[in-house]
């Protein structure tokens, strides 16, 4: 997955692009799989953001006993990944769902929602396939219909948002999800222009952004459309709400010794990951006690120090890894619940 279209592709042929931080993901998740068996027989992994299946293919090849459950809301991605992973037969279960559909996906695979999984990978953001397909409307560098739905079969499009939201709602979306300083000014210009002609294409929106963002900021702050396009994509797909719901379900699904990796591509995603992980890595025993109360200790231990970034070599080999922030944790206990 990626979140910066200014970075170029790293092609791997028929199935798209080089998976981001593949080696590091294996280094972190692999020990949890081989702890079950040397070939990971009996181990279960969830790829919560399947995309084109690059990460999944690697893990299935590397660990011949592994069963993988792949989730994606994009039916096109599922079809492509299904072809890619077909050689692995019944070792693969693919589910058409957002990543907050982990519990139903486990049920579909015949597994309980608690302590049944040994590794989980979240590679957040928009996929290379979605970014590279101009007609999806994710890219601001190409004039295309303003769609931006990761699942093109349901929900509001970006054009719907631009043409129907109030000034206050538009400004909120741009400010909250895009961290756009000029959200109010952009929202005013959108409302003015849509009275003349509804928004249908990305070129119309880019024109508004050039007109609304001061020239000095355009010269120094990167492409003026980046933040607004990110904000619209997050709003259209409910990405942050889905992530907030997905993380607790993912953590609950992990068995003792199970591990999770999160790869985020913008600060809002990484902040949510950190907020959800932090309470699980701390004791709930009252301060000052000489010992840990049973069942009140930390559930997870962090495997990374803060958010890891891609190395210079990784970025050189795969430019789309430049914005990534990686966090990982291992379940070390299960708390007593009331």
Question: Are 128 and 320 in contact, with CB atoms under 8 Å apart?
Answer: yes
CATH code for the part of the protein at 141-237: 1.10.150.170
CATH topology of domain 22-129+239-331: Rossmann fold (3.40.50)
Instruction: Determine the Cα–Cα distance for residues 270 and 262; give it in Å rounded to an integer.
Output: 8
pLDDT digits (tens, 9 = 90+) for 257-273: 999 999 999 999 999 99
CB atoms within 10 A of CB 162: 24
Q: CB within 8 A of 15, min separation 6: which ones?
A: 52, 53, 54, 80, 84
Nearest to 263 by CA among 51, 74, 102, 118: 51
Is pLDDT above 90 for 13? Answer: no
Instruction: Determine the Cα–Cα distance for residues 126 and 173; give it in Å rounded to an integer.
Output: 18
Residues annotated in a binding site for S-adenosyl-L-methionine: 53-55, 72, 99, 123, 130
pTM: 0.89
pLDDT digits (tens, 9 = 90+) for 160-214: 999 999 999 999 999 999 999 999 999 999 999 999 999 999 999 999 999 999 8
Nearest to 148 by CA among 5, 313, 309: 5
Tell me the DSSP string of 109-150.
TT--SSS-EEEEEEE-SB-HHHHH-GGG---TTS--BS---S
Fold agreement between 22-129+239-331 and 141-237: no
Residues annotated in a binding site: 53-55, 72, 99, 123, 130
For the chain, domain boundaries: 22-129+239-331, 141-237
How is residue 233 written in tokens?
């994509």
């Amino acid at each position: 997955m990626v979140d910066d279209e200014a970075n170029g592709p790293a092609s791997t042929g028929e199935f798209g692009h080089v998976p981001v931080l593949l080696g590091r993901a294996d280094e972190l998740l692999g020990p949890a799989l081989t702890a079950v068996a040397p070939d990971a027989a009996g181990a279960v992994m969830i790829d919560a953001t399947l995309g084109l299946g690059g990460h999944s293919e690697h893990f299935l090849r590397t660990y011949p006993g592994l069963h993988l459950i792949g989730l994606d809301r994009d039916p096109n991605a599922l079809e492509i990944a299904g072809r890619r992973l077909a050689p692995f037969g019944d070792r693969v279960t693919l589910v058409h769902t957002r990543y907050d559909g982990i519990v139903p996906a486990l049920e579909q695979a015949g597994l309980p929602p608690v302590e049944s999984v040994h590794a989980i990978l979240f590679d957040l953001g928009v996929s290379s396939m979605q970014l590279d397909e101009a007609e999806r409307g994710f890219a601001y560098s190409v004039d295309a219909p303003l769609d931006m739905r990761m699942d093109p079969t349901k929900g509001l499009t970006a054009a719907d948002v631009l043409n129907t939201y109030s000034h206050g709602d538009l400004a909120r979306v741009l400010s909250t999800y895009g961290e756009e300083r000029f959200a109010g000014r952009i929202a005013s210009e959108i409302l003015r222009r849509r009275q003349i002609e509804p928004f249908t294409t990305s070129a119309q929106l880019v024109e508004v952004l050039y007109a609304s963002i001061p020239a000095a900021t355009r010269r120094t702050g990167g492409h003026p459309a980046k933040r607004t396009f990110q904000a619209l994509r997050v709003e259209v797909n409910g990405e942050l709400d889905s992530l907030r719901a997905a993380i607790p379900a993912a953590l609950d699904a992990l068995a003792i010794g199970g591990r999770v990796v999160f790869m985020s591509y913008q600060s809002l995603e990484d902040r949510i990951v950190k907020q959800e992980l932090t309470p699980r890595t701390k004791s709930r025993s009252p301060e000052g006690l000489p010992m840990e109360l049973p069942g009140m200790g930390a559930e997870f231990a962090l495997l990374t120090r803060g958010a890891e970034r891609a190395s210079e070599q990784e970025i050189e080999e795969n430019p789309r890894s430049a914005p990534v922030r990686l966090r990982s944790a291992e379940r070390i206990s299960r708390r007593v619940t009331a």
